[in-house]
A and B are shown apart, each in its own frame.
Chain A
Amino acid sequence: MAFPEPVLTKRIPLNPADRKKVWYNDYVATGGYKQLRAALDMSGQDIIKTVTDSGLRGRGGAGFSAGQKWSFIPKEKKTTHYLAVNADESEPGTFKDRHLMEWDPHQMLEGIAIACLATQCDIAYVFIRGEFHHGTKVVEQAIKEAYHHGIFGNNVMGTGKKIDCYVHRGAGAYICGEETGMLEAIEGKRGWPRNKPPFPAIAGVFGRPTVINNVETLCCVPHIMERGPAWFKTMGTPSSPGPKLYGMSGHLNRPGVYEHELGITLQQSIDMAGGMKGGAFKGAICGGISMGVLAQHQLDVKLDFDDVRFRGGCLGLGTAGMIVMNEHTNMVRALRNCVRFYAHESCGQCTPCREGSAWMKKILDRIVDGYGKARDLEMLLELEKTMGSMPGTTICGLADGTAWATRTFINKYYDEFAAACPEETTKRVSLPISRGNREVATPMGSNTR
């Protein structure tokens, strides 16, 4: 396993001062859109086979095989097929797609075009997070260029094929990054995740077959087409091959987006970002806060889709958006912050998530204020077990995020939580009424804290 040179970021230098946006001419000059030309001569099934052989796993968090996902789309085309590109990157700690879209948008567009050819999609929607004002402008400009140069439109590269690509901006809801929530949002509805079945591959946007891929997944596609599945498998681990963008943030000397192969250890990733800042390592949220936390003794956990799960005790690698925390971090406050996010972003459709996340947030608020009780921890651990799509009590996986964050934080830093929730407290057991309604004092969503 080796990682000789950057793949996805080959046009984006590591040093921010050297970066410049890659527009159409620069992209073509560095070998761009050659793979699209090649793909136009291939059959859709061949493209899908190439991608499946490469073992590319979705970079959006779940790590599902991208080629397999494409193969679920009906082979015989009876109606419009859609491609929905998930660029609603809202998970705290994750900022890799933004990096790709803002600096090298054509790489994503080439991936979109190839994916459309593979799955016979007529229309691609790029669902961009509402807060990405700059990214939206860049992608819109790039799409305009692509239309101008015949990448999209009624005559793709002169072959008479037809692909359309549109940008759809979100309105600032985390839940619209959930795949079926995103489909609802694209349809112009409230972004409430749908019940499955039917799966999006059969009935997605507007009830038509729909492929849903993450930006980074699509960015990998042109490279796989260029150098082949065997090359792709030289990077990463056997089960999780390929390059990966690591969004390193937190107490690090040089936070930022770094590209490396999958399967490096946590220690390696910290070193890549310049090492710890301000103190020794205490914990790292491994892939956006929904995946849970890796503790001190887990620095040797390999960052791939399986090891983080089975050896790291987390939900998975997620998006590899690392938030690294040093020894001075208060883990109770860190968890409160995570749960506050989920209480704020719960869409409110399923009862367990809607009520449970808010309840957990209120308990953690109380603990942070110094009014914790021993049974609060039992309560938190009981509540987190009742919510999530894994036990089946919610429609989507947002509640799993709440559950896994709470579970891993409390179990891995139990002493710290136990100290905040003493068996016998000298303070009053319940909050004075005057301090009761925290939501009035500090409205969620404001950036004051």
Chain B
Amino acid sequence: MPKITVDGKNIECKDRTNILQACLDAGLERPYYCYHPGLSVVASCRICLCEVEGIPKLVPSCQTQVRDGMVVHFNSSKAVANQKQTMEYLLVNHPLDCPVCDQAGECLLQDYSYEYGRAQSRFEEDKAKKPKKDVGLNVLLYSDRCIMCTRCVRFTREVSGTSELYVDGRGHKEEIDIFPGKPLNNKLSGNVVDLCPVGALLDKDFLFQQRVWLLKRTPSISPVDAGGENIYLEWNDGKIYRTKPRYNSGVNKWWISDDTRYAYKAVNAPNRLRQAMKTELGMPTACSFNDAAETAVAKLKQIVVDHGQGSLYAVLSPMMPCEEAHLLGTLIRSIDPQATLVLGPVPRGDDDVFMNYLDGSETFRIQGEKVPNRRGVERVMQILGGKTVDFATFIASTSGATKAGWIAGGYLSDWIGTELPAPLKGGFKVVQDILPNELTRNADVLLPGAAWAEKAGCWENYQGAMQAFDAAVPPPEGARVEGKVFHKLLGRSGMYDAAAVRVSLGEPFVQAVLPTEVEMAGEPAFEFVEL
């Protein structure tokens, strides 16, 4: 463990790390643009230059490895003069369009300009004019705002391995560009927007939607596949506006897939279910949520009395958090101890593997299992015991033993198709879902549910990591969080609390904890902290 001194502070750092990373690890904010811990080091932005005692020149702190006893100055006159001059240079050709720029508020150029720059530019000539470019399905490039840190170029080469972006031209006329006819359409393309320290690469989806300082963020988990990518949902006024990656060294590092990034759109969908329904006199009729829920339980109890035990089933969707799956299983077993527990459908595709273009090493993998919590729900079903089957076996069965059931959905897209499978066609069905589909149209009792962003819980990813997520926004009016509904129907007292349910379930569910405020603030620094 080498010990170095940075601006009078003694810090301990890891072996073979660089000065800048050592500072960031120790919580010392130092300016940088081109450096990113997940990418190769180019040392081209030159704002991170520092003075090391014993070396006459300024050295790039992102590229210089720490040595024990090194004395580093970021606030010496030479280093400060360079910071000031580099800021002026970067702003020479940068348009002053912060008022209409989406990056304003989380822009490193703004932050460092305030911290290290000069108040007025001495540049009196004409700024270079560069075009706006449409580089891919999700990404826009405003090349006049670009400061040529080449993080995006390195990302497409070293992480996605697709090499769509490159540097075109030379000197102050150079631009980031794509090759003709080869747009930036890989499944990780949105990450270049997160990487861009300024407002050059923009997400078309978020363009002109919100000022970033209005957004609040909630730690969450990707709902689109078994990878369990860690994310932040960023929202304002009860509406989610965008998704940003959350660093997790063991799962997704700094990156997320585009499917994860745009999964929130299902939450904002205009056709979300909002009205509870029950069948009265053979007609679907709107009713209050409580009425529908109580009707459902009463009817199920009646069916058990009429047909005996073993006539009920419950479909536990792999979109459900473990806590809710456990509560629904408990609820249905409290009505019918012989009830069948069915694991909802698990759509599978091929894994998408991304490789470094140079050495071919795997850098990122998008899981082919397109649900987040198959393992967690299976684990819950194991705890509950009794008769458990998977969805394919269930719909293939023709015994007709099951007369009625409780079906939980929550998928972000249509999951049942236009033709209902035979066991779901007849009989009494209580359906809990978020988006309309064939099943909700044929439900005897319909309970509008909450999407993952609207509730707390935990999911187990493909590695067996139990990960918690929090509710970012409230469910739409008329819909209710499933956990609260089960909690009430089970007659439990007090408020429903996902964390408390986790504790009652014990290992391994209690491993799922939300990041603390401090951990959230201790992200690889993209935020400005007063020195």
By a beta-carbon cutoff of 8 Å, the part of chain A in contact with chain B is 173, 175, 190, 192, 195, 343-352, 354-359, 362-363, 366, 379, 386, 389-395, 430-431, 436-437, 439
Instruction: Kindly provide the distance from the CB of B380 to the nearest chain A CB, expressed in whole angstroms.
Output: 51
Q: Determine if A386 and B170 form an interchain contact, defined as CB atoms under 8 angstroms apart.
A: no
Contact A351 B44 (CB under 8 A): yes
Contact between B42 and A343 (Cβ–Cβ < 8 Å)? Answer: no
- Please indicate the chain B residues that have their CB under 8 angstroms from the CB of A393 in the complex: 46, 49, 58, 82, 85-86
Q: Count of chain B residues with Cβ under 8 Å from any Cβ of A?
A: 39
Asked whether, in the complex, the Cβ of B46 is within 8 Å of the Cβ of A394, the reply is yes
Contact A366 B46 (CB under 8 A): no
Distance from A134 Cβ to chain B, minimum over Cβ atoms (Å): 25
For window 40-85 of chain B, which residues contact chain A by CB distance below 8 Å?
41-47, 49, 57-60, 63, 78, 81-82, 85
**Of A195, A344, A359, the contact of B60 (CB 8 Å cutoff):** A195
Contact indicator A351/B171 (Cβ below 8 Å): no
* A8 and B442 alpha carbons, distance in the complex (Å): 95
- With A355-B89, A356-B89, A386-B85 already in contact, the answer to whether A348 and B63 are too (CB < 8 A) is no
Specify which chain B residues have a CB less than 8 angstroms from the CB of A351 in the assembled complex: 44-47, 86, 89-90, 147-148
Residues in B384-423 with C-beta less than 8 Å from chain A: none
Chain B positions near chain A (C-beta within 8 angstroms): 41-47, 49, 57-60, 63, 78, 81-82, 85-86, 89-90, 92-93, 122-126, 128-129, 147-148, 166-167, 169-174
Is chain A's binding surface mostly helix, strand, loop or mixed?
loop
Are A358 and B171 in contact, CB atoms less than 8 angstroms apart? Answer: yes
Chain A positions within 8 Å of B93 at CB level: 355, 358
Q: Is the CB of A352 within 8 A of B89?
A: yes
Whose C-beta in chain A lies nearest to the C-beta of B166?
A190
- CA of A344 to CA of B60 in the docked complex: distance in angstroms? 25
A203 CB, min distance to chain B CBs, angstroms: 14
* Least CB distance, A347 to chain B, in whole angstroms: 6
A358 and B128 in contact, given A350-B46, A391-B57 (Cβ under 8 angstroms)? yes
Interface of B is mostly: loop
CA distance A49 to B122 in the complex (A): 54
Which B residue's beta carbon lies closest to that of A394?
B46
20 cross-chain CB contacts under 8 A: A175-B170, A190-B167, A195-B43, A343-B172, A348-B170, A348-B172, A352-B46, A354-B148, A355-B172, A356-B89, A358-B92, A358-B172, A359-B92, A391-B57, A392-B57, A392-B58, A393-B46, A393-B86, A395-B44, A431-B125
Determine whether the beta carbon of A354 is less than 8 Å from that of B57: no
Residues in A whose Cβ lies below 8 Å from that of B171: 343-348, 354, 357-358
Contacts of B126 in A (CB 8 A): 362, 431, 436-437
B-chain residues with CB within 8 Å of residue A350 when the two chains form the complex: 44-46
Other contacts beyond A348-B167, A355-B172, A393-B85: 7, CB < 8 A: A190-B166, A346-B171, A350-B44, A350-B46, A359-B89, A392-B57, A392-B59
Assess the B58–A391 pair: CB atoms within 8 A: yes
Docked-complex contact B172 and A352, CB < 8 angstroms = no
Cα A347 to Cα B150 in complex, Å, equals: 13
User: In the bound complex, do residue A352 and residue B85 qualify as a contact, i.e. CB atoms below 8 Å apart?
Assistant: yes
Determine whether the beta carbon of B125 is less than 8 Å from that of A362: yes
Whether B170 contacts A195 by the Cβ 8 Å rule is no
Which chain A positions have C-beta within 8 A of B123? Answer: 359
Residues of A within 8 A of B166 (CB): 190
Q: How far is the CB of A331 from chain B (nearest CB, A)?
A: 21
B172 partner, pick from A346, A390, A430, A431, beta carbons under 8 A: A346
CB distance from A60 to the nearest CB of B (A): 21
Which of B41, B58, B86, B124 counts the most chain A CB atoms within 10 A?
A: B124
User: Once bound together, how far apart are the Cα atoms of A195 and B60, in whole Å?
Assistant: 9
Residue numbers in B under 8 Å from A395 (CB-CB): 43-44
Q: In the complex, what distance in Å separates the CA atom of A393 from the CA atom of B126?
A: 25
Closest to A371 in B: B124
The listed residue (A195, A358, A394) touching B42 by CB distance below 8 A is: A195
Task: Report A-chain residues with C-beta under 8 Å of the C-beta of B60.
Answer: 195
Q: Which residue of A lies closest to B150 (CB)?
A: A349
Min distance, Cβ A444 to any Cβ of chain B, angstroms: 9
Q: How far is the CB of B92 from chain A (nearest CB, A)?
A: 5
Q: Which residues of A contact B122 (CB under 8 A)?
A: 379
CB-CB under 8 A from B128, the residues of chain A are 358
CB neighbours (8 Å) of B44 from chain A are 192, 349-351, 395
Q: Tell me the nearest residue of chain B to A190, going by C-beta.
A: B167
Contacts known (A352-B85, A352-B89); A195 close to B49, Cβ less than 8 A:
no
Q: Is the CB of B124 within 8 A of A430?
A: yes
B residues within 8 A CB of A195?
A: 41-43, 60, 63
B120, chain A: closest CB distance, angstroms: 13
Give the residue name and chain of the A residue nearest to B85 (CB): A386
Chain B residues whose C-beta falls within 8 Å of the C-beta of A431 in the assembled complex? 125-126
In the assembled complex, how far is the CB of residue A186 from the closest CB belonging to chain B, in whole angstroms? 16
Q: Which of B43, B59, B63, B126 has the largest count of A CB atoms less than 10 A from its CB?
A: B126
Is there contact, CB below 8 Å, between B125 and A173? no
Within the complex, what minimum Cβ distance (angstroms) separates A155 from chain B? 35
Task: Assess whether A386 is in contact with B82, with CB atoms less than 8 Å apart.
Answer: yes
Docked CA distance A351–B85 (Å): 10
Q: Which of B49, B167, B170 contacts A344 (CB 8 A)?
A: B170
Q: Once bound together, how far apart are the Cα atoms of A195 and B172, in whole Å?
A: 20
Nearest CB on A from B55, distance (A):
8
A346 vs B81: C-alpha distance in the bound complex, in angstroms? 22
Determine the chain A residues whose CB is within 8 A of the CB of B86 once the complex forms.
Answer: 351-352, 393
Q: Tell me the minimal C-beta distance from B157 to chain A in angstroms.
A: 10
Residue of A nearest to B90 (CB): A351
Name which of A345, A346, A390 has the most chain B CB atoms within 10 A of its CB. Answer: A346
- Chain A nearest CB, measured from B288 CB (Å): 64
User: Across the interface, which residues of B come within 8 angstroms of A173, CB to CB?
Assistant: 170
Q: Is the CB of A346 within 8 A of B170?
A: yes
Instruction: Compute how far the CA of A389 lies from the CA of B43 in the bound complex, rounded to whole angstroms.
Output: 13
B92 CB contacts on chain A under 8 angstroms: 355, 358-359
Nearest residue, chain A, Cβ from B81: A386
Least CB distance from B279 to A in Å reads 68
A345 to B123, CA, bound (A): 21
Q: Per a CB cutoff under 8 Å, which of A348, A356, A437 touches B148?
A: A348
Would A366 and B125 be within 8 Å (CB), given that A195-B42, A392-B59 are in contact? Answer: yes
Nearest chain B CB to A338's CB is how many angstroms away? 15
- CB-CB nearest in chain B for A379: B122
Q: Of all chain A residues, which has the CB nearest B153?
A: A190
For B51, the closest partner residue in chain A by CB is A392
Indicate whether A390 sits within 8 Å of B85 (C-beta atoms), given known contacts A345-B170, A346-B170: no
List of B residues within 8 angstroms of A436 by Cβ? 126
- Across the interface, B90 reaches (CB within 8 A) one of A347, A348, A355, A363, namely A355
Distance to closest chain A CB from B48 (angstroms): 11
* Least distance between B73 CB and chain A CB atoms (Å): 13
What distance in Å separates the Cβ of B490 from its nearest Cβ neighbour in chain A? 63
Select the residue from B44, B47, B86 with max chain A CB neighbours within 10 A: B44
Bound-state CA distance A323–B235 (Å) is: 65
| Residues in B neighbouring A192, C-beta threshold 8 A | 42, 44
In the complex, the 7 A-B pairs of residues with the closest C-beta atoms, listed nearest first: A392-B57, A392-B58, A358-B172, A362-B125, A355-B89, A346-B171, A348-B174
Residues B125 and A347 in contact, CB atoms below 8 Å apart: no
Flag if A354 contacts B125 (CB, 8 Å): no
- Measured between beta carbons, the chain B residues less than 8 angstroms from A190 are 166-167
* Inter-chain contact A349/B42, CB cutoff 8 Å: yes
User: Cβ of B173: which chain A residues have Cβ within 8 Å of it?
Assistant: 348, 439
Whether A347 contacts B58 in the complex (CB less than 8 A), given A362-B126, A386-B82, comes out as no
The CA of A431 and the CA of B126, in the complex, are separated in Å by 9
The answer on a CB contact under 8 Å between B125 and A359 is yes
- Interfacial chain A residues near B45, Cβ < 8 Å: 350-351
CB distance from B51 to the nearest CB of A (A): 9
